[in-house]
Structure 1
Amino acid sequence: MNDHRPVTTLTDDAAILMDVAEGIATITLNRPHVRNAIDDEMRADFVKALDQVAKDDAIRALVVTGAGKGFCSGGDVKNMKARLSAPAGQIAGNGWRRQQRTHHAMAALHTLPKPTIAAVNGAAMGLGCDLALCCDFIIAADAAIFAMTYVLRGLIPDGGGLYFLPRRVGLSMAKQLIFSGRRLAPAEALEIGMIDRVTSSDRLLDDARTWAAEIGAGAPTALALSKSILDQSMELTMDQVFAMGSQAQAICYTSSEHLTSVSEFLARSSGEAAR
C-alpha cells in the first residue's frame, strides 16, 4: 500500500496534499512548520480535496493525516490576532462568516459518502481534535495527543466537538474534557471510546490504509446510504429510521452492485447444484 499516485494539481508545498492508491485516498494537512494549524487557504483547499474524493468513483475510502510531527494544532493563532484587530463593528460579522466556512468544511468531511479515517500522527488540539472526531473512525499513533483546548483560549468548540464528542464518550465525559481542556494520551482516549485504535507511529498510515480498504470494500451505494442514515439515527425515532431505511433499500434494489451480486450468487448456486 506504499505506491501512491498524486491526483491533485497542488504543488508539494501546498497546504493540502492528496494521493490515491488502490482505491484509498489520503489527504495530508501540510503546514508542518505550525503543526498543521488551519488557516483560510488550508480550509479552502481541504474542501476542494474532499469534493474530489466524493466525485471520484474509483475512491472507496479516505484517510486524513498530518505532515510532520503534528496532526493538527487547531486554528491558526495568527488568524485569531488579525480577527481581533478588525474594527469593533466588524468582528462579529467577520466571525460569523468564518464560522460558516469552518462548518462547511467539517460538514463536507462528516457527510462524505464514503468511509473516513483520521490517522492521528501527533497532537490533535482544538479544531484539530474536532477534525478527527468528524471522521467515521480514528486511529492514533502511540505518540499522539488529544485535547479540546478551546476553553484555554476563551472559546467554545466550534468545529463539531460539541456534537461529536458526547456521542463518542457520553455527555459527562465530554463536559469534563471540554471544560478542562486537558490532554489525553492515546491509551486513555481509547479506553473512554474517543478513538478506535492505537498503533505505532511507523505503522500508522499502513494500518489506516489497510483498515480503510477493509471498510470501503462493500457496495458503494449501500455504504453511502447506510452512513447517511446512521449519522442521523441518534436524533430520529425508530419509525423514522425504518422509513429512511425503506427508501434507501429501494435505491439499493436498483443499484448495479446489488444486481451484479445477486446474479453472481445465483450463477454460483446454479453451478453447485449442477455438480
Structure 2
Amino acid sequence: MMATEQVEKVLLHMDDRVAYLTLNRPKSLNAMDVDMLNQILHSLKEVAANDNVDILVLAGSGTGFSAGGDIKTMLSRVDDNEFEPVMELITEITKTLYLLPKLVISAIHGPAAGLGLSLALVADYIIADRLSSTAMNFIRIGLIPDGGAHFFLEKRLGEAKAKHVIWEGKQLSPGEALHIGLIDEVAEEELQTAVIQKVKKWKKRPILAMIQTKSIYNQMHLPELEKILELEKIGQQAMRNTKDHREGIQAFLEKRKPIFTGE
C-alpha cells in the first residue's frame, strides 16, 4: 500500500548518475500534505544512500512546481500535538536535502510558492521557466516562512532584501527573481532542455570535488540553519494563535482579500 501511495504523490526516477524527484499532486498544484511530506523525506533518504547518483533534480508535475503547504489539509491538524510533528517533518526534510551529498537542481515551472519555494531554495542551482512565478507568500495568511526559508533567502539576497521579499509576499516574475538573485537562470528555451544542458555540463566536471566544496560550506553553516529551523517552529506556533492568521485562513477559504488588524 505504501509503495502505491508513494508513486502517486512523489515520483522518483534514477538514471545515469541523476535522480529525478517529481512532486506529483497535479490536481492540487503539488500542494504538500503530510503524506506527501513523508514521501519526500523517504525519497531523499533513498537518493542519499545511492552512491551511483551525483545529481538530484527537483521538479513538479502538471502546471506548476508547488503551491506550498496544503492549507485545507493543514487546517484539520489544528491541535498543537499534531502541529509539532509536522514542523519536525519539515525540519528533517530541509536538513536532509541541505546535507545531501549530491548536487541539487530545482527546476521551476508555473508557481513555486510558500513551502514549495522554501523547498526549491535548498537547491544548489535554480532554473525557472519563462512563464514561472515565485512567491514567499506566508504573509498572506498571517504566518512566517518555514522550511528554512529565512536562512536560504538571507544567503541568496542578504538580510534586507530577504525581509522585503517575506513581508511583501508578492508574486515575482522569473525576470524579477533573477534580477534580485532568488534564482540562478531563466530557461531561454524549454525548461527540460535547460536542465539537461546543466546536468551534462556538471557531469563533465570533477563532480566529487564540487560536492566536497558544497559539503564544507554546508557543515560550516549547519548550526545556523538548525537554529533558524527551531526559531521558525517557535515563531510559526506563535503566529498560529493570532487573529490575523485566523482572518488570513478565513479569507483564503472565502476567496477574498483579508482584513488584518495586527492582532
Q: Deviation per CA, 1:108-157: give whole Å up to 9, x if none.
A: 11111000000001100100110110111100001111001111111111
Code of the aligned partner of 1:73: A
Aligned to 2:51: 57
Unaligned runs of 5+ in 2: 224-263
Please tell me whether residue 225 in structure 1 is matched to residue 212 in structure 2.
yes
CA contact (8 A) 2:6 2:39 kept: no
Q: 1:10 to 1:106 in 2, by over 3 A?
A: farther
Code of the aligned partner of 1:61: I
Aligned length in residues:
221
For 1:191 and 1:235, locate their aligned partners in 2 and report how far apart those are by CA, in whole Å: 27
For 2:118 and 2:213, locate their aligned partners in 1 and report how far apart those are by CA, in whole Å: 23
Please tell me whether residue 35 in structure 1 is matched to residue 35 in structure 2.
no
For 2:6 and 2:160, locate their aligned partners in 1 and report how far apart those are by CA, in whole Å: 43
CA contact (8 A) 2:177 2:183 kept: yes
For 1:97 and 1:228, locate their aligned partners in 2 and report how far apart those are by CA, in whole Å: 28
Aligned to 1:198: 186
CA contact (8 A) 2:33 2:74 kept: no
Aligned to 1:123: 111
Fraction of identical pairs, as percent:
35
Code of the aligned partner of 1:214: K
For 1:10 and 1:228, locate their aligned partners in 2 and report how far apart those are by CA, in whole Å: 34
Aligned to 1:259: none
Measured after TM superposition, the shift of residue 72 of structure 1 is 0.5
**Residue among 11, 16, 19 paired with 1:22:** 16
For 2:95 and 2:39, locate their aligned partners in 1 and report how far apart those are by CA, in whole Å: 15
Q: Deviation per CA, 1:45-94: give whole Å up to 9, x if none.
A: 1111111211112211010000011100000012222023xxxxxx2232
Measured after TM superposition, the shift of residue 235 of structure 1 is 8.1
Alpha-carbon RMSD across the aligned residues, in angstroms, is 2.1
Aligned to 2:81: 93
Q: 1:10 to 1:225 in 2, by over 3 A?
A: farther
**Residue among 118, 138, 142 paired with 2:130:** 142
Aligned to 1:215: 202
Code of the aligned partner of 2:169: G
For 1:115 and 1:221, locate their aligned partners in 2 and report how far apart those are by CA, in whole Å: 10
Aligned to 2:42: 48
Length-normalised TM-score, structure 1: 0.75
Q: 1:140 to 1:105 in 2, by over 3 A?
A: same
Unaligned runs of 5+ in 1: 1-8, 85-90, 237-275
CA contact (8 A) 2:126 2:183 kept: yes
**Residue among 78, 90, 111 paired with 2:99:** 111
- Runs of 4 or more consecutive aligned structure 1 residues displaced over 6 Å after TM superposition: none
Measured after TM superposition, the shift of residue 232 of structure 1 is 4.3
Q: 1:138 to 1:78 in 2, by over 3 A?
A: same
Q: 1:234 to 1:12 in 2, by over 3 A?
A: closer
Larger radius of gyration: 1
Measured after TM superposition, the shift of residue 41 of structure 1 is 1.3
